[in-house]
Amino acid sequence: MNLKTKFFLKVISVIAPIVIIPTILANCAHINSNELDNAKTNLKGSVEVVNINPYKTKQMLASNINKEQINSYFIFIFNLIKTNQKIEEKILDKNDYEILNWAANDNDGTLGINIYIKTTKQSYLINTKPVFLTDKQNNYLQELKYKTPAVYSIDEILKFSNNPYNLIHNNPYYREQLLRAKIYFNQNEANVDDSKLYMNKIGYSEFGSDVQKRLENAFKIRYDEQNIYQINSPQILAKETKTLTSYIDKKTNNNYSINIELIKKLIQINPFGKLPKNFAQLINLIKKEEYPKFLTITKNESVDNIVVKDIYYRIIDRYAKLEFILEIYNKKTKQTVYLSANFNQKNSGLLKNEDYFQYIFDRTISLDLLTTKDGKNVELNSGTGWIVDRIIDDSLPKNKIKLLIATNNHVMGWSNLAISKDNRMKSRWFNKQEYINYLENNAGFISSNIYEDKDRYQYLLWGTAPLKSPVSNKYNSLSGISFSNLAKVYNITNQNFINRAWYIPQLSANGIKINENLRTWYQINQEDIKSIKNGTLDFVLVPMVFDIEDIKEKLPNYYKVLNTKDEANWYIGLGNSKKYLPQLQLFSGGYPGDVNPNSSAIVSWRGSKSYGSLIQAFDREIKNESILDYYGPKQINNIDGYQKVGEGYLNKLFNVGTRVITSDEIGDLGSGSSGSMIIDSNFNLVGIHFASLNSRAYGAPNDSMIGNLFVAQSQDLSGDIDVRAAVIKKLKAENIYTYKLNPKVSS
């Protein structure tokens, strides 16, 4: 396709996840650089300090900082009061000022800094916000310094085979952290700064003996990347350090090497997953006195001379490479040796990042809708969906199949077809003549198959990338979808799209904070506790009919299992009805908008992998911005819950589903990736992606993904708290049979 083809769409409106971008400097205008230099000494002005690396400062006491760190972690802004009383700002260069002295207040985590501005010849005393550890927080961390989660024997670890819940919740260290958090949040001194310490240890955020307490505590936690559960990073041995595959103790003639079979067994049963980092995560839970069991000795003799001091790694998840290294010390010879063994996909059960991304890629599609505002130009509304199951429908022609597709409510909501503050901006379907005119006017830019397909405008469209990028967290020209590659969803058209969704979760939420202008939406009980009934997840299930030839072309790995004994197992379904654990890594992938101006693609495949998460019971603050507008049949009976528009209703729903906030170790998902599935490192489906958090904007090392979990983790939610169970119940009630969730049982 000609590169110009990408732009014949005129307007590409990509359905985007909510992108939350916290800013460090708001309305910070720069004055001319020579204005401050030419200032008089009696010039009026003030100085403020801004922390640009809170990730670092929140790991230290203010009393431990030095001048170099102050210059590295903070910037200073001079507020110049001009003759017309307007204030202009300049970020000071390091040669504009001199730090005279500073004073720490470890009680509240602040730092007072006295700086001298050279051009004004004045000194200014300024105080930071509480961006450092307080004494109280530091004492808490010091208490934990001598506690360890490494409490298991190897035999105990083997008994927890592929059972992460028992592995984590039977650990006395984790149980103690949970107890500490419960005590802390039941006191009245909980605050957002101290709460971070507890979130980093447990990854779960709902505490309180009653609903009122849980509501209050919900606002004492920041739901961001810095509050996730922190997985301990493996100790990496420097590349230049020499390792040996075997070591002979010349005193005893014993030959020592790594116990290869034990390592392979632990890889195979690892409850955390099959990545090299997952293996290191598991070993972190093993008692140090068990380390000698990782050795193989040629002679069955005492190993009193040899001490296993520590475990190190060289790890690359991208390639499934693991070098397991024991630091051993010979007490007789005073010799230290690093004994190692290498593991990969060929000699063990290890997996690489792309194995997870490939699994997602094979089941994921781009969903695209052509709309227009003026009947002349095209908007392409794009989101991501994935195959849940196949519906058994004998009424279909042999060349068609019906699939249950999952995506976000806001992807399939299509409220832009029903409402707009300005009717001139309201989107709509093309009519036949408008689309024919559009094709004629753009004939020089579009492919022949698009030009000849005169009824394409009537259908929801779908597509996949011809090839998955070898590295899914990077954009690749091979992983794009062009406009001409889109196929039709045959049962969703401009005539029947109002009835597109088969399942929208229904939730009630108790213990909420809500704007008073939404008073007709909520109920109040005798204890003055507010609740709402029109809650949901940002999730819908839509039956879609596909042509098998399109499946063959666009989903070849799926086509291979169609109508075989392996088909039912291929479908991901809706998880396993178990609660997600924040200690498990997450993977997601979808089709955000293509950012390469030299590409003909409209969207491209991209993946994201997280390392540690935070579970938010649900968003208890209900605002106008929280509303999910869904245009379709009436979903709720609340007086303000719907509005008749044309043939359908504009339903107003709130996303009160349990959320997961991640720390994206690699990759990030932008506009168009809304609706991407989220799986854990054991290939279990746990939820759906709907928003992004630009955490790097405030100094965090990684951005975040926000998703809804399919199993609720709050006692204040009711209704479809287990999406899988709710869907199976609905399938059975409506006598709908599928390959995975509700198969026909032969009598």
> Phi and psi for 90 in degrees, rounded to 5?
-135, 130
pLDDT band of residue 20 (cuts 50, 70, 90) is very low
CATH classification (class only), 352-732? mainly beta
Write down the mean pLDDT value for the chain: 86
Average pLDDT over residues 639-646: 66
Alpha-carbon distances, residue 344 vs 9, 311, 650, 738 (angstroms): 46, 18, 53, 38
Residue 638 pLDDT: 59
pTM of the predicted structure, to 2 decimals: 0.86
**Sign for the pseudo-dihedral over CA of 588, 590, 593, 595:** positive
> Phi and psi for 715 in degrees, rounded to 5?
-75, -5
Nearest to 315 by CA among 611, 582, 102: 611
pLDDT band of residue 562 (cuts 50, 70, 90) is very high
Total Cβ atoms within 10 A of residue 198? 24
Indicate the range of 80-89, 682-691, 715-724 predicted with least confidence.
Answer: 80-89
What is the spatial distance between Cα 100 and Cα 114, in angstroms, rounded to a whole number?
6
What are the tens digits of pLDDT across the range 163-194?
999 999 999 999 999 999 999 999 878 899 89
25: pLDDT strictly greater than 60 = no
What is the spatial distance between Cα 582 and Cα 231, in angstroms, rounded to a whole number?
9
Average pLDDT over residues 410-427: 69
Residue 174 pLDDT: 95
Identify the residue with better confidence: 504 or 7.
504
**Contact (Cβ atoms closer than 8 angstroms) between residue 274 and residue 352:** no
pLDDT band of residue 569 (cuts 50, 70, 90) is very high
127: pLDDT strictly greater than 70 = yes
Helix, strand or coil, per DSSP, at residue 217: helix
Residue 636 pLDDT: 65
The structural domains of the chain, with segments of one domain joined by +, span 43-135, 145-219, 244-350, 352-732
**Contact (Cβ atoms closer than 8 angstroms) between residue 311 and residue 341:** no
Taking the CA atoms of residue 497, residue 554, residue 383 and residue 422 in that order, the dihedral angle to the nearest 10 degrees is -50
pLDDT band of residue 156 (cuts 50, 70, 90) is very high
Residue 177 is encoded by which pair of tokens? 């952290």
Residue 637 pLDDT: 60
Nearest to 292 by CA among 273, 307, 312, 313: 307
